[in-house]
Each structure stands twice: as C-alpha cells, then as structure tokens.
Amino acid sequence: MAGASNFREAGDRASELPADLLVAAGARINPSTGRPEAPSTATISRVVQDIDAQHADARVGVWISQCVAAYRARHPEQWDLPHGLEWLDGLGIDGKTVRNSAERGGVNVKLFSALLHHEQVVIAQITVPADTTEVTCVAALLDPVDLTAKTVTADAAHTQDATADYLTRVRGADYLMTVKGNRPHLLEAIAARMPQAASGSADYTDEQIVGGRRVVREIWVTNAEGIDFPAAAQVLRIRRRTYDLAGQQLLKEIVHGITSLGPTRATPRQLLGGVRHHWRIEATHWVRDVVYREDHQHAYTGTGAQAMA
C-alpha cells in the first residue's frame, strides 16, 4: 500500500495509479468516461477487513510458489550444479508480531511465515491463534507447502522432537535447527560431540567484509551418534567472530545446531550457509516494518492485519 498508514491514505495512493496499471489490476471501467476507476477508500477498507485472510494468504502462497517453479524451470543452470545446489534449498520459518494490530482489549496479531532462502520470498503465512504459539503451528503453516527436497530452517524455539518428526517422517523433508538453552540436555550432548571446535582447523571457513567490519565464520561438523533427537544425522558448531578493519576483535559468538542431512547430502559449507541464510526471513521483517511501514498501520479490524501483511 505504498507506505500508507490508514485506509484514507491507501485510497489516495490508489487514486494516483496510472490507468494501465488499474486495468491490469482489474479495475472497473466507468461506462461514461471509458476510463478505469481506482478503488475508493471505502472499497479498500471493506475488502481488507472482510476478506478471508487465511484463504487469501493460501492463494497468494500457491501463486508465488508457481512463479518460483516457473523461474527455476527457465534457469536450470542455477540448480544443476555438479554436486547439487551450491546452497541448500532452504525454507526458513519464523513468526512476527504486528504492532498496533490489537482490537479493543485484545492482543496484537502474530503472523507465522515460511520464506524460500534463495528467492527470499514468502510462500506461506498464517495467523497464530492467541491461545498458542508458533511452535505448535508448524504443521498448519507447512501442510499446504510442497516440501520436496526442502530443508526447513528454524531458530532454537522450534528445536522440538515433534517438529523434527513432522518434517522428516510425515513430510519427507529435512531440517536444520539451532540448539540453545531451551533444550539444555540436547545442547550439552551436542557440545560433547564437538571437542575439535576448541582446537584444530574448522571444516569450513567463510570470511567477508560486512558494513566496514570483517566477519569470520567457522563451522565444525560431526555425526550425531548418541544424540537423542528424531532423524538426527549430524551436529555442528559455528563460531562467528567480528573484527574492525584494524584487526581488533569486536564480537565472538558460538552457535550449535542439528540437522537430518547426512554428510553425503550436505557439506559443511552448505550447512553454514543454511544457518546464515535462515536470517533472511528476519530481514523481511525489517522490510515490512521500515519500507512498507507495516507496524505503523492503524486501521486493523477484522482480518485487516493479516490481509495487509
């Protein structure tokens, strides 16, 4: 809606659209003037607040998935590399709370989305019911999505046995998840499998200059022997160090993870890329907040928050 923060502004933006764009969008043709009519403020308000937002999200997700499939078919050179994808065909899942979306006495709407790493587009989105969390909504989000050859990436909140079982046994997909303190025994078991991370060379190292800083990422990977987690094949440790351009270390971070991908199906480089590229879904939150000003919208009633998103 071009940064509009309410329906009046959205109507103003619509009235400024060129005729050819209105025609392409299916605008009604005025029989008297023969020109397309832009939707009014009232029309936009009515459609956004009354539409079945879940159904609309599902239809849009299918359309985007079809566009991606068509693009990939036209550019097979990007997917037919000698050893498969240069990066994993990752699908990141994450939730986002829409500020200013609470109706009187209620809570803000929380949306749960799935984003393709490579194309950086959202292909599925649902509203998380107020009485639950996104952790329990993975199946509802991904049931309509084709997960063939996909690796689902998720933050530590989703590192749950039920989620791993759903992805691998029920859907035939793979997972790559970070592991933190919410799973203390699993984290301890993974750390015990990774003694080589404290000394010796990493299995893969990536170095980049980002925002005037030098970022060094190292990954150690080993098999998941003795790890009690559904379909676990490998565990990993990533060390991320950030330096200024003079060589002074500014930040050090260590992250552990677990994946159903075995060593013949994912290299250390691919696993490092999968963890890193998961944060592209976080980047979409920034775009929605800052570029599209989603959190500045103050016209949310009915299904408005989800429909506008």
Q: Where are the domains of the chain?
A: 1-50, 52-145+279-309, 148-277
pLDDT at 84: 46
pLDDT at 136: 96
Report the largest interatomic distance among the alpha carbons of the chain, rounded to a whole angstrom. 79
The model's pTM: 0.82
Average pLDDT of each block of 10 consecutive residues along the chain (309 residues)?
71 86 88 88 81 84 93 77 66 84 65 93 92 95 96 97 98 98 97 73 91 93 96 97 93 96 95 92 63 52 57
- In b/e form, how buried is each residue of 28-66, taking b as 16+ CB within 10 angstroms? eeeeeeeebebbebeebbeebbeeebeebbeeebeebbe
**DSSP, res 65:** H
pLDDT at 264: 95
Strands, sheet with 121-127, edge to edge from the N-terminal-most edge strand: 121-127, 109-116, 90-98, 151-154, 174-179, 249-259, 234-244, 213-223, 204-210
Q: Look at the chain and count its residues.
A: 309
pLDDT at 250: 93
pLDDT at 106: 62
Amino acid symbol at 73 = A
